[in-house]
Amino acid sequence: MHGLAQREGAISSHTRYQKEILDDDRKNLQSPLICYGDADLYICFEPSEALRRGLFASKKTVFVLNSRTIPGIMSTAALEEYPSLEKIEEILKGYSNQVYFINATELSLNEFKSNQYVNLIMLGFAITTGKLPFIEIEHYEEVIKEWLRDPELNIKALHLGIKQGEIIFKMK
């Protein structure tokens, strides 16, 4: 994790997957960081987050964004204009045509009366892109049951994101 900001800042984290360990250690993942232009997937809990880290994106990148905006301090102080969702999409399509929005905050508030499930809704949505390789839904559920409070609600949120993703990707 980088920039674990306490106020109005962005948090960026990288996750890399390797299906199997190779005999040649030099071919195995050596760093948790993604190289510039090599990200397969962006999961953004706030739309403008994707703009802050564009240097990792390329034509192969899929962007999944929560459409609920949280303007930063500069926007709320009227010192800069927060970009519209259309402008954010336009900028991201300069990298890749695979830009998808879901209002995970609204889904979480409507379904659970809390925004604490946004992360799992977004994860479920991201799973439907096919960019999270070789991890079965059951494995996510096992981890949720082992590590999270209220596992039934968290699993429900994961599946809500999957369902919404399936609807969106069926339309494309």
Task: Give pLDDT tens digits for 96-110.
Answer: 999 999 999 999 999
Q: Is residue 172 predicted with pLDDT exceeding 80?
A: no
3-class secondary structure, 53: coil
Distance CA 61, CA 37 (A): 9
Mean pLDDT check: name the lowest of 1-5, 64-68, 80-84: 1-5
**DSSP letter string, 64-130:** EEE------HHHHTTSSPPPPHHHHHHHHTTT-S-EEEE-HHHHHHHHHSSSTTHHHHHHHHHHTTT
Q: Does domain 32-171 match CATH 3.40.920.10?
A: yes
- Per domain, the residue ranges of the chain are 32-171
